Chains A and B, each alone.
Chain A
Amino acid sequence: MADSEVTALEHAPGLKHHFDDTEQQLESSTLGMWVFLLTEIMFFGGMFGGYTVYRNLYPDAFASSSRYMNIPIGAFNTAVLICSSLTMALAVRAAQLGNKKVLIWFLVFTLILGCVFLGLKVVEYHEKWVDHHIPGPGFRYEDARYFHQAQILFFLYFAMTGMHAMHMVVGAGLLTTLIIMAARNRFSAAWYTPVEMIGLYWHFVDIVWIFLFPLLYLIGRTK
C-alpha cells in the first residue's frame, strides 16, 4: 500500500485512499453520476421509443385511452415534483454552506414531497384497478374497438410510470440515508458529495416525469 504517499491526505474528510485529493474525488463522482444518468436516459429511451412507435400506429386508440388518465392528480403531482426539485436544490445549497439543520429540514421536505407523489400514484393505480385498466387477463375497455390497442397504451403507461415510481422509491431510500448521515454529522462544507450526487439523481427523476406527464396524459386527448 502506498502509505507514505497518502498519509498526509488521510485526514481530508471522506477522501478515499486511491484518489490524490478531494478535488479529483469530487470530479470523479460527478462524472460517474452523469454517466449513470446517461444510462438512465437510454433505459427510459427504450420505452419512449416503444411509445413513439405505438402512438404512430394507433393514434385514435391512444387519444381515446388517455381520456382515462387522471389529469388533476397528474398535474398536482407534477407541481409536487417541481417543488421537491426546489427543496432538493436548497438542501444542496445548505450542505454547501455547512448548515446541518437547514440541510436536514430540506431533505425531509423533499422526502415528504416524494412520498406525496408516490401516495397519489397509488391512488391513481387503484383507480385503474377499479376500472379494470390493468393490462392482463382482467383488462376491460369501454370502447371494444380499441380493446387491444388501449391495452398496449396502458401497458406502456404502467411500464413507464412504474419504472419512474421505482426510481422515486429508490430516491426516497437514498434521501432517508442522507438524512441519517446528516444527523450523524457526516457532512461538512468541505465534503457533501453524496448530497450533491443524489440531488442530481433526484432532478433526473423529476425530469423524466416532466416528459411522462404530457405524453401520457395530455397529448391528443379526446373530449
Chain B
Amino acid sequence: MWAAPSRWGWLNLLTPKGLFAHDTYNKLFTMHGIIMVFFFLVPSIPATLGNFLVPPMVGARDLAFPRINLLSWYIYIVGGIFAITAIVRGGVDTGWTFYAPFSSTYSNTHVILAAIGVFVSGFSSILTGLNFIVTVHKMRAPGMTWSRLPLFVWAHYATSLIQVLGTPVIAITIVLLGMERVLHAGIFDPALGGDPILFQHLFWFYSHPAVYIMILPGMGVISEIVACFSRKSIFGYGFVAFSSVAIAVLGFLVWGHHLFVAGQSMYASMVFSFISFLVAVPSAIKVFNWTATMYRGSVSYDTPMLYAFGFIGLFTIGGLTGLFLATMAVDVHVTDTYFVIAHFHYVMVGGMVMAYLGGVHFWFPKITGRLYPEGWAKFAALVVFVGFNLTFFPQFVLGYLGMPRRYAAYADEFQILNVMSTAGASILGVGYLIPMIYLAWAWRYGPKSPQNPWGAKGLEWEQSPTPPPTFNFDVPPVMNEPAYNYSGEEKEVEIGR
C-alpha cells in the first residue's frame, strides 16, 4: 500500500513540467522513502518470515524473549502511528535522509513527528535483532551446530548484528536533529557554528549498514530456495555463511562513499572507496555459489525458484552498478542522479522484494497450511520481473544523462525514458497486486498443504508440523544430519548438544 506514493510520483513524471505542485511531489517522495525504508524494507523479512521461521529452523520452541518480541511489534505500531500522523497532518518534505540544515532549520513541515516515528520504530528493529542473536546463540536444538545452521538463520544473525550496533546511532542522531529543530542551538547548523557534514556521517553510519539489514535476509531466503529447488546441498556453505557476516562487518566501514562530493577529505574518500569495493567480494561470492548450486542439480521451476532466478539476475545488476558508484570519478557524475535511484531499487526492490515474495511463496504452505494457485503465482512472478525492469532500467540511462533525483520537473529531453519508467511502474503495480489477491484467497480457501510440499530439508519442514503448533514442535527436535542434506547421505544416528 505504501509503495503507492511512488506510483503517483511516476505519474507526476509523465510530463517534464510535472502534474503535481512541486511541494506535493516532494512530500510524496519523502513519504515513499520514509515508509519504504524504515517501515517496510528494514522490518519486512525479519519481522515476518524471520520471527516465524528462525525458532523452528534452529529447533527452538519460540524466540528467546517472546514478550520482547511482542513489545517490538507494539513499538513498530506506535512508530508507524507517528509517521502516519506526520503524513496526515500535511506531510514532510525533507527526503528520507533528513539532511541538515534543511530539516533542522528550513523545512516548515512535520519533521519532528516523522523523526519520532523513525526513532521509535528503530527500537523495534533493535529488539528484533537482540532476540535473534540470543535465540541463535542459546536456543539451538541438540545437533544444531553453527556449521549446520540454515543460511537463512546465518543471514538473520548477520542482520541482527547490524540492527543492534547500527540502529542506536540513527536513534541518537534523530534525537539530536529533533533537539536542534526545537532549540536552534546550532549542532548541525553552520550559521551557528555547527557542522552539517557531521549529520551526514552519523546518518550514513547507520543508513548504509541498513541497506544490508534490508538485503541480507533476502539473501538468506534465496539460499534456502536455491538449495531446495535444485535438490542440492548449497555450494560452498561455509563461504555463503561467512560472507553474510563479512558483509555485516565491512558494511559498517563504507558509509563515507555517500560523501564523495560532499567535501570530505579526498584521502578519506579513497579509503571508503576501497572498502566499498571489498564489500562487493562477499556479495559476488554469494551469487557465484547460488549459481554453482544448480550445477548437476535437479532444478524445478516452482514459483519460489522463479523469484530466486529473478533475484540472482537483478541483484547481479544492482550489485555491479554498485561498483560504478564505488568508483569515485564516476560517482561524482552519477551520485544524486537517477543512476543511484535505479541502483538501489535493483538491490532493494529487484533483490529484497523478489526474495521476500519468493520466501512468502516458499513458506506459505508452512505458515498457513494451505497451497496457493501455482499458475497465477508463476504469471505474477513474470509480470513483476518485466514491470520491474521496464521501470528501473531506463533510470540508469536517465542518471548517466544527468537527471538529478528528487526533481518534480525535469528537462524535456528526459521525457521518453520517464514515460517508459512510468509505464513499467504501472505493470509492476499490477504484478504486486496479483499475489496479494490470490494469497489472501488461498489463506482461506486454498487446498490443504501436505506436511512438506517441496520436499525441503530443515527442521521447520521435517520435524515441525504444518502449520506449526504454538511451540513449534510436538516432539523435541534433533538435528542429526548436515544442513541441506538433499542427497540423503551420511545421516547420523544420534548427536549430543
A–B: direct contact at CB < 8 Å: yes
CA distance A54 to B194 in the complex (A): 8
**A155 with B185: CB separation less than 8 A:** yes
> B387: CB under 8 A from chain A?
no
Query: Using a CB-CB cutoff of 8 Å, which residues 166-214 of chain B contact chain A?
Result: 166-169, 171-173, 175-176, 179-180, 182-187, 192-195, 198, 202, 205
CB <8 Å contact, A46 and B164: no
A50–B198 CB distance below 8 A? yes
B238 within 8 A of A: no
* B residues less than 8 Å from A149 (CB atoms): 193
* Majority-rule SS of B interface residues: helix
* Chain A CB within 8 A of B258 CB: no
| Contact of B54 with A by CB under 8 A | no
Whether A148 sits at the interface, judged by CB under 8 Å, is yes
Beta-carbon contact of B195 and A136 below 8 Å: no
Tell me if B363 counts as interface (CB < 8 A to partner A).
Answer: no
Contact between chains at A53 and B474 (CB < 8 Å): no
Name the residue among B126, B194, B198 with the largest chain A CB count within 10 angstroms: B194
Contact of B471 among A17, A31, A45 (CB under 8 A): A17
* Cβ contact of A139, chosen from B60, B185, B471, cutoff 8 A: B185
B65 at the A interface (CB under 8 A): yes
With A46-B202, A156-B187 given, is the CB distance from A57 to B172 under 8 Å?
Answer: no
A140 to chain B, nearest CB (A): 13
Residue-wise, chain A 73-104 has the 8 Å CB interface mask toward B (1 for contact) of 00000000000000000000000000000000
Interchain CB contact under 8 A, B61 and A17? yes
- The count of residues in chain B whose C-beta lies closer than 8 Å to any C-beta of chain A is 48
Q: How far is the CA of A115 from the CA of B194 in the complex (A)?
A: 35
Q: Which of B57-95 contact A (CB under 8 A)?
A: 60-66, 68
* Cβ of A7 to closest chain B Cβ, rounded Å: 13
Q: Which of B60, B68, B130, B176 contacts A39 (CB 8 A)?
A: B130
Contact residues on A (Cβ < 8 Å of other chain), bracket: 35 or more
The answer to whether A2 and B61 touch (CB under 8 A), given A57-B195, A155-B179, is yes
What separation, in Å, do the CA atoms of A137 and B183 have in the docked complex? 7
* Other-chain contact of B126, A5, A18, A39, A156 (Cβ < 8 Å): A39
- B134 x A45 contact (CB < 8 A): no
A114-137 vs B, Cβ < 8 Å mask (1 yes, 0 no): 000000000000000000000111
Q: Which B81-138 residues have a C-beta within 8 angstroms of A?
A: 126, 130-131, 133-134, 137-138
A35-B133 contact given A57-B195, A152-B186, CB 8 Å threshold: yes
Asked whether any CB of chain B lies closer than 8 Å to the CB of A36, the reply is yes
In the bound assembly, the distance between CA atoms of A132 and B88 in angstroms comes to: 37
**B139 close to A (CB within 8 Å):** yes
Residues A28-60 near B (CB distance < 8 A): 28, 31-32, 35-36, 38-40, 42-47, 49-50, 53-54, 57-58
B265 at the interface (CB under 8 A from A): no
Q: Indicate whether B297 reaches chain A with its CB closer than 8 angstroms.
A: no
B476 within 8 A of A: yes
